[in-house]
Structure 1
Amino acid sequence: MCRQPLGSPDVDVTSIARPVTGAASRFLSGAGLLLRGIGLYVRSPKLMLLGIVPALISSAVFLTAFAVLVWFVDDLAALVTPFADDWSATWRNLVRVVAGLAILGLGGLLGVVTFTAVTLVIGDPFYEAISERVEERLGGTPGAVDVPFWSSLRRSLADSVRLVALSTLVGIPLFLAGFIPVVGQIVVPVIGAAVGGWFLAVELVGAPFYRRGMRLPERRARLKADRPTALGFGVAVFLCFLIPLGAVLVMPAAVAGATLLARRSLGQPIQET
């Protein structure tokens, strides 16, 4: 079966599956895809429990790393604010508290994105099975191609590294903006959640797109066509991942919800047949 390339002049990417509703409604609709993923989770507990195992392994590593970051955050805050060494104790402490919060915020953003990338690589067979099961319930996978396991794993790893690197580049300006009074403590966390949510959405839809022979640039373009929906889903997952043990429990459901998001972005049905 021939598949028309994304760059074909006959394909209007910006109009694919875009709902005729406002941005806020689409954002909430995207968050609702995670809830539907949780519903699928509840209905297939045996399969979904398998998806918890790789998430549990990754969580142990990343929680330990974040605990180490918290332990040394005061030293790191002093390291990045040498200009405050000669200030009065009050101002010096205030600046370093802000710096510490910025460091923890950057660590949280990179930690969530990296956790997702590592967990998807570790649990590739489990999450592939979950995604396939969801597609079967929705009528199958139109345009599916046969991708060897090792080839799929290499592509997934390469794309994950690219996304983590990009999130790092975006995270550095957010870290610096964290020093701005009020803005750094109110606006930056909101932007951070939106940025983290976007990267999570792009990361999590990898399996259903690979199944159709589509790589990172294509899935990014498809999600951009309905960015509010992708952001709604991604931000909901991001916030769940910040809850203790949330990443472990929600990861399989997030994979299921991401399959729904992928199908919606491709103009394919997301109602069970």
Structure 2
Amino acid sequence: MNNNTIIEQPLTGLGYLFKGVQLLRHPQLRVFVLVPLFINVLIFASAFWFLFSSITDWIETYMQALPAFLSWLSYILWPVIIFSILFSFSFIFSTIANLIAAPFNGLLAEKTEILLTKSAINDDGWQDLLKDLPRILKRECQKWAYFLPRMLGCFILFFIPVIGQTIAPIIWLVFAGWMMAIQYADYPFDNHKVSFAVMRETLGKRFGKNITFGMIISFCTTIPLLNFIIMPIAVCGATAAWVDIYKQQVLSNPLNRIE
């Protein structure tokens, strides 16, 4: 297993995104980026055209719902709400893009791991991908089953006067980062058939590093043009983290794997 000194640095999440950029430039990986990149461009171009034509009206409506004695918070909440809306849209459409591109992202994660470790995971290539489609889609449904109740809880907070409306944007920013961390780390975990519960527990033990990684991804998805390529960068970065930090630990216990 390759060791990467970046895990000793404080900005692990940011470091792995930079590593994802480096890996993405490798000739052996470029071909596996084309389909996810096309899906991202199509979905995000449509989503952000709609978002930027409506965001001002949404924010003004939300601010008007605040009690008058909290009007002084508008200077603080305005940028937070903007980022919350951007992150919400980015997450929703990233999830849609990831659902469509999941088989190709899984293949990109596999090829990235092979590049890093010089050892094969599966031998059948595209045949193995087609065979695993039902399992991959089931895994995406597991993510949604985990995300949706928590997203609903955050959404309800936005309608609770004073306290809820004040803390909801902050809670959503943090949770959006956690969801992004799970979304992209899951590809290399799932390639080895590590259960979803074990994957979440493993990531939770390094919550600070993973939340940093996820929040930076969330931020990148709000930036035009960068949001087109952040998906494959995140897949490569998350796979590098899997190889460096998690792989040996997780796979040493056979009970962590599902059939």
- The TM-score normalised by the length of structure 1 is 0.69
Number of the residue aligned with 2:223: 243
Number of the residue aligned with 1:129: 107
Distance 2:34 2:101 in 1: 12
Which amino acid is the alignment partner of residue 37 of structure 2? I
> Are 2:118 and 1:139 aligned?
yes
Number of the residue aligned with 2:246: 265
Distance 1:229 1:96 in 2: 31
Deviates more, 1:251-260 or 1:153-162: 153-162
* 136 and 246 in structure 1: CA distance in 2 versus 1, 3 angstrom threshold: same
Match of 1:255 among 235, 247, 256: 235
More helix by share: 2
Q: What secondary structure does 2:25 align onto?
A: helix
> Are 1:121 and 1:156, in contact at CA under 8 Å, matched by a contact in 2?
no
Larger radius of gyration: 1
For the aligned residues, what is the CA RMSD? 3.9
> Are 2:59 and 2:82, in contact at CA under 8 Å, matched by a contact in 1?
no
Distance 1:178 1:42 in 2: 48
Number of the residue aligned with 1:55: 40
Render the CA deviation track for 1:119-150: whole Å, top value 9, x for unaligned: 11111232122111111112336699x78333
* 176 and 261 in structure 1: CA distance in 2 versus 1, 3 angstrom threshold: farther
* 126 and 255 in structure 1: CA distance in 2 versus 1, 3 angstrom threshold: same
> Are 2:154 and 2:168, in contact at CA under 8 Å, matched by a contact in 1?
no
Render the CA deviation track for 1:171-227: whole Å, top value 9, x for unaligned: 3376469966xx95xx87665443322210111122212222223211101111222
Distance 1:243 1:232 in 2: 17
Identity between Structure 1 and Structure 2 (%): 18
Q: What secondary structure does 2:119 align onto?
A: coil
> Are 2:106 and 2:191, in contact at CA under 8 Å, matched by a contact in 1?
no
> Are 1:127 and 1:255, in contact at CA under 8 Å, matched by a contact in 2?
yes
Which amino acid is the alignment partner of residue 248 of structure 2? G
Distance 1:230 1:95 in 2: 30
Number of the residue aligned with 1:202: 182
> Are 1:98 and 1:179, in contact at CA under 8 Å, matched by a contact in 2?
no
The aligned runs of 1:154-193 (5 Å cut-off) are 154-169=137-152, 171-172=154-155, 175=158, 184=166, 192-193=172-173
Q: What secondary structure does 1:123 align onto?
A: helix
* 249 and 215 in structure 1: CA distance in 2 versus 1, 3 angstrom threshold: same
- The TM-score normalised by the length of structure 2 is 0.72
Which amino acid is the alignment partner of residue 29 of structure 1? T
Question: How far apart are residue 267 of structure 1 and its match?
Answer: 3.0
Distance 1:235 1:74 in 2: 22
Question: How far apart are residue 39 of structure 1 and its match?
Answer: 0.3
Question: How far apart are residue 158 of structure 1 and its match?
Answer: 0.8
